[in-house]
Amino acid sequence: MPRLTLAGRWTAYALLAAAGLGAGYWLAPRDPAAPVQAAAGALIPERRPDFTLTDLEGVPRSISEWDGRPLMINFWATWCPPCRREIPLLNALRAEYLEQGFEVVGVAVDFRDDVLDYLQRTEVNYPVLIGEEDGMEAARSFGMPGLGFPFTVFTDSRGRIVTLHVGELHREQAEVILGAVQDLEAGRKDLAAAQQWIRDRKPSAAKATS
């Protein structure tokens, strides 16, 4: 992923904000000549793809290290306002659901120095992996074009993708999804029923913030 100059990066952010992309979803800085890819119609895999990125200490970590647990895999970036707003909620969800076997894993698709600097000033109580181009590839492996953040992948303990939430996550939405995953884990619903439950009951972003 080519590194923009500081001036170039802030120019890109300003252009994105002026484009009216909405409060819940931001596009990544990119080559202005490159075509924008849409997530609509993207094929989301049935199972969580494996990927390996470095943690905050620079140690390579595979997402498979968390096999056997339901996961919330949150793709974010330091320059993304809705990504930053999500962090307190993700901290809270991790604290509330960890004893039930759930884990949150953050995937920062950003420059490593920027992530480390940001996390010195921001409390995060869950594991964070960092990737630049390899982070983009991890994002694309979930059926996303890798150009928009945040998005959160919810999987069950068998590694099956229950749902993929695009845009800023709100508590009401998270509780519906996590409740469905709990029912799936307990055998009260099968995967199709859990996914239908989420489709029928997950509030929209507008409702969740009203």
The 10s digit of each residue's pLDDT in 109-131 is 999 999 999 999 999 999 999 99
Low-confidence ranges of the chain (pLDDT < 50): 1-2, 4-23, 25-41, 210
Joined together, the tokens standing for residue 195 give: 């996914």
Topology of the domain comprising 43-167: Glutaredoxin (3.40.30)
Write down the domain spans for the chain: 43-167
| Assessment of whether the complete model's pTM goes beyond 0.85 | no
Joined together, the tokens standing for residue 175 give: 């509780």
Which one-letter DSSP state was computed for residue 154?
E
